[in-house]
């Protein structure tokens, strides 16, 4: 009988492992079918921007093209950016007044799916990292925080760079430049204005 508890434990962990992994067809597509179908679906015959979301094969073919979905890299994935942008923003989806926005929980689900390597039709790309809890939507339920987009940062000598703030770690700001290099910049060296732009 000694082996039985181990077997049960193994079964439980295996099963929970399966259910916690996200899958496009099962977990993500139903959200898009509900909220994006008017303009991006086989069902409605509309493929605005050439994008069809209820056809995994089509999406798999477009993965990575024009950074639509970059597996493992949520903040480089245009699909995610469109969902994250504030309502009414030029690049926000759905367009203002033209459909129901995703809830913060649904946006986080898409973010997790991309981070897990964007598994679709049994294919999976590189895995990445989810942001710190403070950067996710879970912090302020219902409120959309600022999108992770590039902005100008100035140091105390008045030099400016364009970069995306990935996170703040203690007294260091982790910035990603347009050429994809990541820099850890001491916050004390930033101008007062740039320091004020950091999340509190
Ligand atoms: C009322 C119509 C409408 C709805 C609803 C809508 N979209 Fe769009 N979408 C568009 C249009 C129009 C474009 C093309 C915009 C352009 O090319 O400038 C577009 C383009 C896009 C693109 C860029 C495609 C590319 O490769 O350039 C993405 C990503 C996108 N939509 C995602 C979504 C998602 C996700 C939803 C649901 C949450 C959604 N859209 C809902 C109209 C819509």
**What dotted CATH number matches 151-196?**
2.30.30.700
- If one residue of 59, 93, 111 were mutated to test the ligand 1 pocket, choosing by the most ligand atoms within 8 A of its CB, it would be 93
CATH 2.30.30.700 positions along the chain are 151-196
Rounded CA separation 163/185 (Å)? 11
Mean pLDDT value across residues 31-40: 96
pTM passes above 0.75: no
Rounded CA separation 20/77 (Å)? 22
**Could you tell me the pLDDT band of residue 18, with boundaries at 50, 70 and 90?**
very low
- If one residue of 51, 91, 101 were mutated to test the ligand 1 pocket, choosing by the most ligand atoms within 8 A of its CB, it would be 51
Q: Are 163 and 150 in contact (CB under 8 A)?
A: yes
- In what helix (H) or strand (E) does residue 41 lie, and over which residues does it extend? strand 40-41
Give the 3-state secondary structure of residue 114: helix
Q: What digits encode the pLDDT tens for the residues 98-152?
A: 999 999 899 999 999 999 999 999 999 999 988 876 455 444 444 455 556 777 8
Conformation bin of residue 46: beta by default, left when phi > 0, alpha when psi is -120 to 50 = beta
Ligand 1 atom 27, closest CA: 49
Q: Residue count of the chain, please give it.
A: 200
């Amino acid at each position: 009988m000694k082996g039985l508890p181990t077997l049960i434990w193994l079964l439980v962990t295996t099963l929970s492992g399966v259910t916690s992994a996200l899958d496009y067809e099962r977990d993500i597509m139903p959200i898009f079918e509900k909220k994006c179908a008017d303009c991006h679906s086989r069902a409605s015959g509309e493929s605005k921007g050439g994008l069809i979301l209820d056809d995994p094969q089509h999406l798999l073919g477009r993965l990575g093209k024009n950074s639509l979905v970059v597996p493992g890299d949520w903040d480089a994935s245009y699909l995610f950016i469109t969902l994250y942008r504030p309502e009414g923003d030029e690049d926000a989806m759905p367009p203002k007044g033209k459909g129901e926005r995703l809830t913060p929980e649904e946006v986080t689900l898409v973010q997790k799916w991309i981070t897990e390597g964007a598994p679709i039709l049994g294919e999976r790309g590189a895995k990445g990292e989810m942001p710190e809890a403070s950067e996710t939507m879970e912090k302020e339920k219902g409120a959309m925080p600022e999108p992770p987009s590039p902005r100008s940062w100035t140091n105390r000598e008045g030099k400016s760079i364009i970069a995306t703030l990935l996170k703040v770690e203690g007294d260091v700001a982790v910035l990603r430049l347009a050429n994809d290099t990541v820099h850890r910049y001491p916050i004390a060296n930033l101008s007062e204005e740039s320091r004020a732009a950091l999340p509190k």
